[in-house]
A and B are shown apart, each in its own frame.
Chain A
């Protein structure tokens, strides 16, 4: 009975604005470099989080760029490990490919510095929609580095983070730049960057799982070769500190989720159903 009224209100929603613009990236760097940050405290485990509320809009406008990579090489018996990166010059750009996504970060840095690039590369496990995504930022210039461009795969792309096959850095780029690249996770490895399980490129894209019971969603996951890793209990009586659980009643309802590690999902659950239906079932515009 609420849907009509909610629809009227939704219809009145003002324009959400230009999204993740260059100014938004600049603000991020400004805050980090000019405002007091968190104080060091006794360690509390926090995971980096990249969850998307409105991913189509969020990422389409983010102008994400990405590096490409091949399968890990370096299986030979040579005394030196194979190069972690392939860096070559073409038409005024350095074209960078990551040959070994599991290399020691120092090896990336060594090669990038040798090419005259003051670039720090961090390669982290990411859920499928973010594999290949890179986020290049500059701490000194306080901005997102939009001169570092992707080389995108021609044709259609069914991934939220885009389908880049390489990255170009202009010759003469002085840096410094910090680049985070999403890679596939190894079995049992937790994702550092993860998107909601129903965004483009993730396993439940356009699958109406929200508002269904835990038992039903478990079945939906099983059909895709996935199991449940853990639950986040969002019942109002639960403290945030106790929210993560390994089991909950099958009759509870699922309101969201993400991949926690390869083949394993984490579900957001509560005792009562929330609004079901599809979210995130749209392709990014302009990507």
Chain B
């Protein structure tokens, strides 16, 4: 049996962070089954390792880190299907997933052409709203490294955007300036 209070703490962590973690996973998976599996495995790990989860907002970063590793492993061993989350699977399969607007959008294509590492860094900023120190925690590397890698990733995307036929008025002309003359 687990220590007293464990169930309660897990419930509180789960209720607080599920939406953010589920969104993180959903944004990085295409098939509802994959989404459900990765969410289930991430929180199963959190339950088993409850004592390792830091307090406060750090918990969310810890969970992002677990979700990230779970995602990577999941796609290496595709055949695994969790027995958990039958209901969630159903909901994810039926919940309308809006077709991404402007699938042929030049920005989207430019973003897709980036390396997975660049995409992940930029997504942690743009989608999860994380700051440099927070990203360092999720990725388990130093802040200096994150800052440098982010800088490079932004520059590569800026270049790709500038090279495409993108109507930059949508996003701001500074993207061009960034690509051309940034340090």
Contact = CB atoms under 8 A, between A and B. Distances in A.
Interface of A: 1-2, 4-24, 26-28, 30-32, 34-41, 44, 46-54, 57-58, 61-62, 122, 135, 137, 143, 180, 193, 196, 232, 234-236, 240, 243, 255-256, 258, 266, 268, 270, 272, 274-275, 279
A115 B113 CA distance: 63
Q: Which 9 A-B pairs have the closest CB atoms?
A: A9-B126, A23-B88, A274-B131, A16-B23, A37-B2, A23-B87, A53-B20, A10-B126, A17-B26
Nearest to A64: B15
Interface residues of B, number: 84
A2 B144 CA distance: 16
Classify the interface of chain B: helix, strand, loop or mixed: helix
Contacts of A2: 150, 154
6 contacts: A18-B91, A18-B95, A31-B43, A46-B55, A193-B12, A236-B144
Given A4-B178, A32-B7, A57-B19, A23 B107 contact: no
B169 to A, nearest CB: 12
B17 interface: yes
Given A23-B87, A53-B19, A47 B55 contact: yes
A236 B174 contact: no
Given A17-B92, A27-B85, 17 more contacts: A4-B172, A6-B125, A12-B105, A24-B88, A26-B85, A28-B43, A32-B47, A37-B1, A38-B2, A48-B5, A49-B55, A54-B23, A61-B19, A180-B8, A236-B137, A255-B133, A258-B56
Contacts of A279: 129
A44 B51 CA distance: 8
